[in-house]
Amino acid sequence: MTQSIFKIAVLPGDGIGPEVVTPCLEVLNAAGAKTGGFALECQDLPAGAHEYLRSGNALPGTTLDGCRAADAILLGAMGWPEVRYPDGTEIAPQLDLRTELGLFAGIRPARLIPGISPVLADPRAEALDFVIIRESIEGLFALRDEGKVVDDREARDTMVITREVCEPLFDFSFDYTRKRKARGGKGILTCVDKANVFASMAFFRKLFDERHALNSDIEVNHAYVDATALNLVRRPWDFDVMVTENMFGDILSDLAAALVGGMGFAPSADIGKDHAVFQPCHGSAPDIAGKGMANPTATFLSGAMMLEWLGDKHNNQAAIKAGQLVRNAVDAAFKNGIRPYEVGGKDGTAAITAAVLAALETAEAAAA
């Protein structure tokens, strides 16, 4: 088998970011050593709130260049509550990265790992497995730099929905749902919006329906975002894949994380035409940073998504297999009893990493 070298731009960021990224690379490299067929060439690049304090630039040009030149980007977490721009908003270079690289599709899976107690007392909650696709470059985030406080009585931000972004977003979502269906998924795509009130959201829904006409093998639903919040708590097992506006996806994906154990269990991938960023959904968690308490599982699962994405893109079966191995090793570690602090357990970052590395030794790859 020929060996592919994948160049990974690594942006550890702030707070628990570096604490979860370092063990993630250890796990990904161990999986690669097991499958052979590829290797990761990593370059650490500075970005984030502390980089802003250091250099005055939260996303230096050299970091952006490094990201553009890489095959994939692995990000920890960025931001720190006290580090703000003069307008009062926080440093958030991950948003600039999404915009600069055109990462329109934010995949945010919510899967309950066997062994973790479901939050909901219903047997169906034990097999929770759904995905939110969050549009990630426009919506209420598109013109965030132009949001303004008009005077001390009024402030404004703007919602932007474009055909240019939504057509590829919906096509991506139909394709993603189709692939899940081929692996045993329900094959249902739900468009989550607020089309009952906002013109921009009615347009979002119209574009969704247009693309459905070209993807009629996939069953669809429409739902309002408020009712979706209700139903994610009442009957989340009925969902398969959801596609929604940026801000709605941001909020619903934290709700989804809570259903599967917390932020430390919620991976993500921001995908564009040419680039992709893989990162946990969580932030820098100042309350636990530096204490060795962070749950690195979300980062491991984001790393698994990165290997599978690289494998698909470069037709490298070993990378796909390594991604499956990582996911299966995570499942095995939890089956063997590992329990993060986050869910009331006593296992910190190092213990969870050691358990996953140990499980990797015996893990078999199987399609997730």
Ligand X SMILES: NC(=O)c1ccc[n+]([C@@H]2O[C@H](COP(=O)([O-])OP(=O)(O)OC[C@H]3O[C@@H](n4cnc5c(N)ncnc54)[C@H](O)[C@@H]3O)[C@@H](O)[C@H]2O)c1
Ligand Y SMILES: CC(C)[C@H](C(=O)O)[C@@H](O)C(=O)O
Cβ 40 vs Cβ 73: under 8 Å: no
In Å, what is the CA distance from 319 to each residue of 81, 96, 213, 271? 37, 28, 34, 18
Q: Which CB sits closer to ligand X, 80 or 248?
A: 80
DSSP string, 39-90: EEEEEE---SHHHHHHHS-SS-HHHHHHHHHSSEEEEEE---TT-B-TTSPB
Report 281-320 residues binding ligand Y (CB under 6 A).
Answer: 281, 283
Q: Give the number of other CB atoms < 10 A from CB of residue 205.
A: 17
Q: How far is the CB of 49 from ligand X (least distance, A)?
A: 7
Mark residues 291-330: x for contact with ligand X by CB under 6 A, - for none. Answer: ---xx--x--------------------------------
Note the Cα 114 to chain centre separation in Å: 20
Does residue 92 bind ligand Y (CB under 6 A)?
A: yes
Does residue 79 bind ligand Y (CB under 6 A)?
A: yes
Stretch binding ligand X (CB under 6 A), from 111-119, 125-133, 217-225, 262-270: 262-270
Does residue 282 bind ligand X (CB under 6 A)?
A: yes
Picking from 32, 33, 63, the residue whose alpha carbon sits closest to that of residue 46 is 63
Please pick, from the candidates 51, 129, 245, 250, the single residue that binds ligand Y as defined by CB under 6 A: 250
Report 131-150 residues binding ligand Y (CB under 6 A).
Answer: none
Q: CA–CA separation, 282 vs 209, rounded Å?
A: 32
Total residues contacting ligand Y by CB under 6 A comes to: 7
Q: CA–CA separation, 277 vs 268, rounded Å?
A: 8
Does residue 95 bind ligand Y (CB under 6 A)?
A: yes
Residues 6+ apart with CB under 8 A from 148: 155, 156
Beta bridge mates, 340: 347
Does residue 355 bind ligand X (CB under 6 A)?
A: no
Stretch binding Mg ion (CB under 5 A), from 34-42, 177-185, 242-250, 332-340: 242-250
The 8-class DSSP code of residue 142 comes to T
Please pick, from the candidates 245, 250, 331, 347, the single residue that binds Mg ion as defined by CB under 5 A: 250
Using CB under 5 A, list all residues that contact Mg ion. 250
Using CB under 6 A, list all residues that contact ligand Y. 79, 92, 94-95, 250, 281, 283
Using CB under 6 A, list all residues that contact ligand X. 16, 20, 77-81, 90, 94, 262-264, 279, 282-288, 294-295, 298, 342
